[in-house]
Structure 1
Amino acid sequence: MGQGDGRGRTVSSVDADDTGTRILHVDMDAFYAAVEVLDDPGLRGLPLIIGAPDGRSVVSSASYEARRYGVRAAMPVAQAMRLCPTARIVMPHFHRYQEVSRQVMAIFESFTPLVEPLSVDEAFLDVQGVRRLWGSPSQIAALIRARVSEEVGITCSVGVAATKHVAKMASTVAKPDGMLVVAAADTLDFLSPRPVRAMWGVGPKAAEALEARGIRTIKDIRDAPSEMLDRAVGAALSARLVQLARGQDARVIETDRVEKSVGHEETFEHDILDREFLRGELLRLADRVAARLRRAGWEAGTVSIKVRFDDFRTLNRSQTLAEPTAVGQRIGESANALFEQIERRDPVRLVGVRAEKLRPAGGGGLGLWDDDEDWRRVEGAVDDAVARFGNATITRARHLGRDDGRGAVQHPKAHGVD
């Protein structure tokens, strides 16, 4: 979810100068909220918070009406409701978002085969090779916006530029429901006044380090001594930021993006101190992650966990596996080993398990001995039972009878692996 609320929006006309451009960045406007309005028009114009209504969950998305009150993604729902007491809370429907996303991506692919999805609601397109069919990049952008509106019923914003970085920044400036064209010759003028926080890839810590040294705009990056930048963010990121600040970005459209991770998180209704209970929850989440991996035909090379405490401090730990796996027991053991490395014993608000560095299942073959053979057979039988009878019928024995009022709110976190 973008953090902007639509104020300061800048747009171009369809006949704007698009000389030297070839890249479009198309971003759906408040996508989750827009899909909910699409399915329930009575929500139109209302401040919407997409999340669980228990107040312990976090905001997945919000309509622009809610964002103008300061509501942001990843903010606790309770805090969001204090900022916008009149907001309507709507439970997320992730399968519906995936369905609408497929409709949108199909429209993109009808214009060019060079489409790089970044998430369910945004993608890069290279339109250089289809100009004779559809017109100039700005004309193609206008056609795409019209078709998404007419055929899907939601709006999108488009940045048109010579590079991916500038196109992504331009689409953000144009939101909501706008298009901004940055001709190649205008790139530096467009970039110069933008804050360093607006750069793609600059996180909060890097931004704070730069701002502490008086580097607040992209022009400041261009003008700053390289030694100062190196001290602020390290030599590697410093060199990359200087290139981007000069409008240099050689990245091309990647149509065969490798899925990066699959994960599940759980937010508890009450903070949990019982570490045995938390270990059981990590194992349960690992089983869910593994089941998704098996359905998608992937194995994980790395396991990571997320632990958020009652003061909202969040710790992440990861471990590379000796052999890639889609076995829940193995992923769960790794998750619990990582959990034991965390010395802090404060009450826990959220836990999560994620499988990373994915590769096609069976890519490495099996050795003479398969230590996971028994678990693989058990989990295969579970998959068969779930396919026949549904998820609610099968669980580990340790999870039976655990209705202790924890009121967990589960948040599936997967990137295209369905």
Structure 2
Amino acid sequence: MARERIVMLSDSRSYYASVEKDAHPELRHRPVAVGDPGRMSGIILAACPIAKAHGVAATERVGEALAKCPDLVVIRPRMQRYITISLLITEIYERITDQVEPFSIDEQFLDVSGSLSSFGPPDEIARLIQSRVKLSTGVESRIGIGPTKILAKMANNLAKRSENGVFRLGYDNLEKELWQRPIDEMFMVGSRMTRHFMRMGLAMIGDIARLELSDFKRRLRREMRKQSDIMAEYYWQTARGIDPSPVEPAIRADALKSVSHGKALRSRLYRKLEDIDVVLLELALEVCSRARRLGVQGRVVAVGAVEDGEERATSFGRQTTLPQATALTHEVAAAARRLFVAHWKGEPVSRLYVSLTGLGDDSAIQLDLFEDRAATYELERATDRLKNRYGSDAVMRASSLLESGVARERAEQIGGHYR
């Protein structure tokens, strides 16, 4: 008989705010939130437990948070710091098991099935993780334990309410601990699905789990008035903790379908082709750099745009197939520009994207009688190495220094936030 897996989901409590409080010991007993203190209309990204006790919540406006808690200390986000600490936490996990899968910047799955003989039972491993992460980063961890990823995730939600921050969900306590919970506490059940389930008389998670699958499918189809069998099977399996998916230590290379990059723009600044050209080139640079880093090249270039007309916004997306696979900036940029010029209506542009698909391994480079493509690849890879070492703004096209360029601003940000 196969041994039951032991999967954990470790979540960092109030992650961004915890990192900042660790960096500022003088704020240990103060309410702290992460956001832009200079923008009252900006969004709170995270709040520490003290701030939450005053009613401050993530996603609300900075001005609203300060109105609730005048003593709130709002700290500008430092995304590079949060990524660095997250990678450090991953390294801590990897000293216990090599089966670690990041779920988000502050959540990671661990399969510790093969670690029990070295580190003890699951509860001891959970406490060891909490101790090591706290000592190394100052961040507190909540850990859900289960035989599947879905149960570990829902156990993690319950761990947030437990005294020691650890909770286990197994098939032995599923009915007692999970099935008695309200339906909106089930993973991936939002407000819309909650309303559907309540109308169906399914107020608790166990109300779904106790149904036969065929009956649940029939009832959900009647409620939603459309084909919903796949959705029904997903929620039924979730309620019963069924999830065969493994903990994946890394993204599978064969799952990579495209490399793309887009940018939201202030449309009043992008009315002329000469200004839009600058951004198209910068997007092509980013796409090709990512492709080379992943070891791929593609044959299909796509470009898309949103145009802000006087009466309404319109959009288009077009693609073209190249004669040979590439990850060279000038080839992708030229194809993207041709597509854009052919389909642009001349209205101000508020969003642009460029993508590369039809991907394959870049170990073989198609030669050309009129261009040394291999030498060009080496030149661009050398540029990549400089950027990786000294920052993305270490080497920059002269056009990016124009007012219409966005690369300089983007180099100071991660995920739309400043480093």
TM over 0.5: yes
Please tell me whether the aligned partners of residues 53 and 90 of structure 1 are also in contact (alpha carbons under 8 angstroms): no
Gaps of 5+ in 1: 1-18
Residues 102 and 330 (structure 1), Cα distance of their counterparts in 2 relative to 1, 3 Å cut: same
Counterpart residue number, 1:257: 251
Counterpart residue number, 1:287: 285
Counterpart residue number, 1:15: none
Counterpart residue number, 2:89: 104
Counterpart residue number, 1:228: 219
Does residue 178 of structure 1 match 2:165? yes
Please tell me whether the aligned partners of residues 192 and 219 of structure 1 are also in contact (alpha carbons under 8 angstroms): yes
Counterpart residue number, 1:5: none
Aligned with 1:248: secondary structure?
coil
CA deviation vs aligned residue, 1:147-193 (integer Å, no higher than 9, x gap): 21123321111001121101111112222771112232111333324
Q: Which protein has greater RCO, CA pairs closer than 8 Å, 6+ apart?
A: 1
Counterpart residue number, 1:72: 58
Does residue 237 of structure 1 match 2:231? yes
Mapping of residues 33-72 of structure 1, within 5 Å: 33-44=17-28, 45-50=30-35, 53-54=38-39, 58-67=43-52, 69=55, 71-72=57-58
Deviates more, 1:170-179 or 1:146-155: 170-179
CA deviation vs aligned residue, 1:3-36 (integer Å, no higher than 9, x gap): xxxxxxxxxxxxxxxx966111111112222222
CA distance, structure 2, for counterparts of residue 60 and residue 336 of structure 1:
40
> Following TM superposition, by how much is the alpha carbon of 1:412 offset from its aligned partner in structure 2, in angstroms?
2.8
Amino acid at match of 2:58: R
Amino acid at match of 1:129: G
Aligned with 1:24: secondary structure?
strand
CA distance, structure 1, for counterparts of residue 183 and residue 230 of structure 2:
17
Residues 66 and 370 (structure 1), Cα distance of their counterparts in 2 relative to 1, 3 Å cut: farther
Gaps of 5+ in 2: none
CA distance, structure 2, for counterparts of residue 280 and residue 79 of structure 1:
38
Instruction: Look at both structures and tell me which one has the larger radius of gyration over its CA atoms.
Output: 2
Counterpart residue number, 1:133: 118
Counterpart residue number, 1:16: none
CA distance, structure 2, for counterparts of residue 388 and residue 50 of structure 1:
28
Aligned with 2:243: secondary structure?
coil
Residues 346 and 152 (structure 1), Cα distance of their counterparts in 2 relative to 1, 3 Å cut: same
CA deviation vs aligned residue, 1:84-107 (integer Å, no higher than 9, x gap): 665433333333223222322222
> Following TM superposition, by how much is the alpha carbon of 1:339 offset from its aligned partner in structure 2, in angstroms?
12
CA distance, structure 2, for counterparts of residue 187 and residue 51 of structure 1:
42
Please tell me whether the aligned partners of residues 46 and 87 of structure 1 are also in contact (alpha carbons under 8 angstroms): yes
Mapping of residues 342-357 of structure 1, within 5 Å: 348=350, 351=351, 353=353
Amino acid at match of 1:235: D
Amino acid at match of 1:253: V
Counterpart residue number, 2:16: 32
CA deviation vs aligned residue, 1:170-223 (integer Å, no higher than 9, x gap): 112222771112232111333324455544445666556555655554234334
Counterpart residue number, 1:12: none
Amino acid at match of 1:71: A
Aligned with 1:402: secondary structure?
coil
CA distance, structure 2, for counterparts of residue 168 and residue 331 of structure 1:
41
Deviates more, 1:186-195 or 1:329-338: 329-338
Does residue 362 of structure 1 match 2:362? yes
CA deviation vs aligned residue, 1:255-290 (integer Å, no higher than 9, x gap): 23337687767667x674745456744543443343
Deviates more, 1:30-39 or 1:220-229: 220-229
> Following TM superposition, by how much is the alpha carbon of 1:234 offset from its aligned partner in structure 2, in angstroms?
2.5
CA distance, structure 2, for counterparts of residue 188 and residue 287 of structure 1:
53
Aligned mate of 1:412, from 411, 414, 417: 414
Deviates more, 1:378-387 or 1:117-126: 378-387
Compute the TM-score of the two structures, normalised by the length of structure 1.
0.70
Please tell me whether the aligned partners of residues 382 and 394 of structure 1 are also in contact (alpha carbons under 8 angstroms): yes
Amino acid at match of 1:238: A
Aligned with 1:48: secondary structure?
strand
Q: CA RMSD in A?
A: 5.0
Counterpart residue number, 1:402: 403
> Following TM superposition, by how much is the alpha carbon of 1:381 offset from its aligned partner in structure 2, in angstroms?
6.9
Amino acid at match of 2:91: A
CA distance, structure 2, for counterparts of residue 308 and residue 85 of structure 1:
42
Amino acid at match of 1:171: N
CA distance, structure 1, for counterparts of residue 41 and residue 107 of structure 2:
28
Residues 214 and 290 (structure 1), Cα distance of their counterparts in 2 relative to 1, 3 Å cut: farther
CA distance, structure 1, for counterparts of residue 306 and residue 368 of structure 2:
37
CA distance, structure 2, for counterparts of residue 104 and residue 339 of structure 1:
47
Amino acid at match of 1:167: A
Counterpart residue number, 1:145: 130
Aligned with 2:173: secondary structure?
helix
Aligned length: 389
